[in-house]
Structure 1
């Protein structure tokens, strides 16, 4: 019996329809949802412990792969006729660089090392290099975990509601449905895909796009007016400014290389792959929390465990799971216990 089956048996979930890497949400009656204590009690303690050496080995693995890809890229001429090749390079380099994002994500959850100084520095550097404000995202992502699929307090992927009341629910659902029907659902799906992949991540960082009504228009770089301050209470306002320093230093480095080597080499080696990283991030988070069978719950219906179980695991194949440290295929476990490192979460599902 696998550890996952043991967990399901001990928490009375063995006969529940669950994702099983098939892209379906867990279908659980409220009476069958275990408490987080029940869930954790059947997981051996060592699964909750992060090992600094193992975590650093995964960081080294990602770094070596990325350096190899960059080394290959440096042999490609920076000429207009090579643009198709550079497009392919961006897809490859951005796909491998997504591994850094996942490791920074683990740092933000406290799942990288028992040495919290090392963990914070690692996450801060990695996210800053990817133009992500580390502490800002750490805070907003923690809120996302706390209120997953909550239609009022959810921090991301909160849908518009048909006949929404504008107080606890976002409005505009009927207009969006009408627009979808008027252009056809396939065309609507393609449009949403393009908009999400190109504009989704910057729109989220700059305006809190897809967030719940509670947080208003938030900005991960500017925690004060004219933007909403709801996401950044007390000490977090200062941490947002600290996050901005890392992003600003990275941008200074980018401009330095542009002035020294020209725009095209920087576009080819850094900007293009970064856009692909952002696309991967949107794809993963979108598919983690969106499907036709995934409900969004009112405060009355919501509980932490029910929201966590509404996350979705999907099959991404061995290569992507290797490069991206299984972020897409062990997401339900991650939402229940986000401090479990990815290498232990993988074992829970094996």
Structure 2
């Protein structure tokens, strides 16, 4: 376990003040609107897909990613030149390129939601190529992500970031670590589990997914509940795309050298994974975001458990507003990102006490979630994240 310096009382007070400053309490409601009311509040033109405009945003992300890669290949020190400057420059490249490539991933994500184009073949090809190039099995993810939208913040049937409930073996381990080593060590471990291990673990084993459905793999359809019927065949088709990418990387390594491939591809790959996990984690998790059991959960409640957050303008542009308009995305995932802001304003105006926006700066929000969200604890009809049993 990482050794962490003990905080002074003053330091602890200042940190608590900083990360809890913007916290907004959950507003409970006796009644929720019907799904048709939600959709009816959104202007009809928000549901219209423009293939040319979608392709324009795809082109922007492609040009940025390719341009950044060519610039690094041409002007950065040859990988293997392990000077401090070289390491810094390649690390900076990985951060920039991974951030740019996340925008490309978001376009593929829209394809999986039928939000890119009315041309289904074009949409499928674009989504399949983008996700396969990032080692994500496209159809497998399309199915599991649809389940995530269908069961958002369901306590046992949710898909991704389902809390470990007090009394479970995993929750007991988490609480033991938290109590034994303190909040700082827990936050470090929590971030490592999410940002380094989280995405590969989810694709390979279904980690953080539904405890009721059990383990699942996006590469082999071992879970009939998650991949029923025709989805089994689609999982194997998805594997073909990933295998082709891996073979392409091997060939590229033989031609250009494995260190060059590692520097140009692997570093940004981990940064993309970081962004994907950060978005999903912060969109559905916080001290004030509840989860519901089968008796109390409804689709509308789950949709309104989604959180919009204030990402920096440049990040919001590069990532096609996936973090600042996510409530609208969960109310209707077929809305293209370039219509999501208009849809968000309509939802905010029609349902001001239901719409959830957290003004906490992203770093402090991530720190709060990493420190304070340990296990799920029941209070009334809801389960909240807690630091105690």
Shorter-chain TM-score tier: 0.7 to 0.9
Structure 1 residue 283 displacement after superposition = 0.7
Structure 1 residue 178 displacement after superposition = 2.9
1:299-333 C-alpha deviation (Å, 9 max, x unpaired): 01100010010011111110100100000111111
TM-score (norm 1): 0.88
User: What are the ranges of 5 or more consecutive residues in structure 2 without an aligned counterpart?
Assistant: 1-21, 346-389
SS in 2 for 1:172: helix
The answer as to 2:337 corresponding to 1:346 is: no
Decide whether the 8 Å contact of 2:43 with 2:343 is kept in 1. no
Decide whether the 8 Å contact of 2:109 with 2:127 is kept in 1. yes
The equivalences for 1:164-179 within 5 A come to 164=168, 171-179=169-177
Structure 1 residue 189 displacement after superposition = 1.1
Match of 2:194 in 1: 196
TM-score (norm 2): 0.79
Decide whether the 8 Å contact of 2:26 with 2:288 is kept in 1. no
Decide whether the 8 Å contact of 2:148 with 2:159 is kept in 1. yes
The answer as to 2:85 corresponding to 1:87 is: no
Q: In structure 2, how many angstroms separate the alpha carbons of the residues matched to 1:296 and 1:221?
A: 28
Query: Quick one: which of 135, 139, 145 aligns to 1:135?
Result: 139
Match of 1:73 in 2: 72
SS in 2 for 1:310: coil
The answer as to 2:170 corresponding to 1:163 is: no
Match of 2:230 in 1: 235
Q: In structure 2, how many angstroms separate the alpha carbons of the residues matched to 1:25 and 1:126?
A: 39
Q: In structure 2, how many angstroms separate the alpha carbons of the residues matched to 1:24 and 1:187?
A: 26
SS in 1 for 2:145: helix
CA RMSD of aligned residues (A): 1.5
Q: In structure 2, how many angstroms separate the alpha carbons of the residues matched to 1:203 and 1:214?
A: 18
Structure 1 residue 336 displacement after superposition = 0.8
The equivalences for 1:1-350 within 5 A come to 27-31=27-31, 33-74=32-73, 75-78=75-78, 79-81=81-83, 82-164=86-168, 171-224=169-222, 228-349=223-344
Q: In structure 2, how many angstroms separate the alpha carbons of the residues matched to 1:330 and 1:180?
A: 33
Structure 1 residue 193 displacement after superposition = 0.5
Structure 1 residue 289 displacement after superposition = 1.1
Q: In structure 1, how many angstroms separate the alpha carbons of the residues matched to 2:189 and 2:167?
A: 24
Aligned length: 319
Q: In structure 2, how many angstroms separate the alpha carbons of the residues matched to 1:105 and 1:285?
A: 13
SS in 2 for 1:80: coil
Structure 1 residue 97 displacement after superposition = 0.5
SS in 1 for 2:136: coil
Q: In structure 2, how many angstroms separate the alpha carbons of the residues matched to 1:55 and 1:222?
A: 32
Aligned structure 1 segments of 4 or more residues deviating by more than 6 angstroms? none
Q: In structure 2, how many angstroms separate the alpha carbons of the residues matched to 1:57 and 1:28?
A: 41
SS in 1 for 2:212: helix
Structure 1 residue 297 displacement after superposition = 0.6
Q: In structure 1, how many angstroms separate the alpha carbons of the residues matched to 2:24 and 2:77?
A: 45
Decide whether the 8 Å contact of 2:216 with 2:226 is kept in 1. yes
Decide whether the 8 Å contact of 1:133 with 1:220 is kept in 2. yes
User: What are the ranges of 5 or more consecutive residues in structure 1 without an aligned counterpart?
Assistant: 1-21, 165-170
Go from structure 1 to structure 2 and tell me whether the alpha carbon gap of 1:50 and 1:137 turns closer, same or farther (over 3 Å shift): same
Decide whether the 8 Å contact of 1:206 with 1:221 is kept in 2. yes
